[in-house]
């Protein structure tokens, strides 16, 4: 049985587009949603990223009025899906910036998987990168990978360095074909209809980040559905592709 995908909104920020698209969109304010991805199938309940720390979740003024969406904590989002934290058996962390691993402590029975390179960098980050905090990896026993890996049938981890040293994309097999959670931070504007994909605006190595996003674009060109990490329209992308839990239940 393939997996279904449910994006869970765990927070939102209000930067400008330039934080997503390198040398483009500076000064253009955007809503930047912080998603976790709930994967269900093969007898497993998997979470890709644990989102923003529940203690830091705030809803910026005007967000709900403009978007019709409400920000919840990760616990509330899971509860709405009928999932308890102890039901989650596997947590995959695409990278260890604070808005992607803020709720690791919620999942007492999960195996945690992360890039070995990323974990080592989080323990001794460069002074310029303020998004790392050792607090989020304390008391967590990690399984590490340092190359392409398949931690569960139907889920493939792909190294995509550049945004951070150890960023990983997550390819998920669904009933409608493969979907790719990018791992690196981007939105739909990183993937224009023509020409190359646009390098993520935040990176530790722009050359690597550029090459990684072209690799994801190549997967899209072969039919994979790309799920950009900070795209406002993610629920619609999943629904249109027929990859969600509700979509499969109704099919």
Query: Which regions in the chain score pLDDT beneath 50?
Result: none
Q: Smallest Cα–Cα separation from 170: which of 130, 115, 104?
A: 115
Q: Is 219 helix (H, G, I), strand (E, B) or coil?
A: helix
CB-count exposure of residue 87 (10 Å: 0-12, 13-18, 19+): middle
pLDDT tens-place string over residues 8-38: 999 999 999 999 999 999 999 999 999 999 9
Give the CATH fold of the 4-244 domain.
Answer: Metallo-beta-lactamase; Chain A (3.60.15)
The span from the CA of 118 to the CA of 142, in Å, is: 11
For 242, residues 6+ apart whose C-beta sits below 8 A from its C-beta are 175, 176, 248, 251
Ordered by start, the domain boundaries in the chain are 4-244
R_g over Cα of the chain: 17
Q: Would you say 108 and 45 are in contact if contact means Cβ atoms under 8 Å apart?
A: no
Cα(32)–Cα(26) distance, integer angstroms: 14
- Give the pLDDT score at 166: 98
Strand ordering across the sheet containing 225-227: 149-152, 155-159, 168-174, 177-181, 225-227
């Amino acid at each position: 049985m393939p997996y279904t995908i449910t994006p869970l909104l765990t927070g939102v920020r209000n930067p400008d587009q330039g934080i997503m698209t390198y040398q483009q969109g500076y000064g253009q304010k955007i809503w930047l949603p912080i998603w976790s991805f709930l994967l269900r199938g093969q007898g497993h309940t998997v979470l890709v990223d644990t989102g923003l720390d529940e203690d830091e979740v705030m809803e910026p003024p005007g967000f709900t009025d403009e978007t019709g969406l409400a920000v919840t904590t990760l616990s509330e989002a899971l509860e709405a899906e009928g999932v308890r934290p102890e039901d989650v058996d596997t947590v995959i962390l695409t990278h260890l910036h604070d808005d992607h691993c803020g709720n690791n402590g919620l999942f007492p029975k999960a195996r945690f998987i992360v890039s070995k390179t990323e974990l080592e960098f989080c323990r001794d980050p460069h002074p310029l990168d303020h998004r790392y905090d050792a607090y989020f990896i304390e008391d967590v026993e990690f399984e590490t990978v340092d190359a392409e890996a398949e931690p569960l049938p139907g889920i493939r981890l792909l190294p995509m360095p550049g945004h951070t040293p150890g960023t990983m994309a997550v390819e998920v097999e669904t009933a409608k074909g493969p979907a790719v959670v990018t791992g690196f931070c981007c939105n739909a504007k990183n993937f224009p209809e023509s020409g190359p994909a646009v390098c993520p605006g935040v990176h530790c190595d722009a050359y690597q980040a550029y090459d990684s996003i072209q690799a994801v674009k190549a997967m899209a060109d072969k039919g994979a559905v790309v799920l950009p990490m900070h795209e406002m329209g993610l629920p619609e992308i999943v629904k249109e592709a027929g990859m969600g839990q509700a979509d499969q239940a109704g099919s």
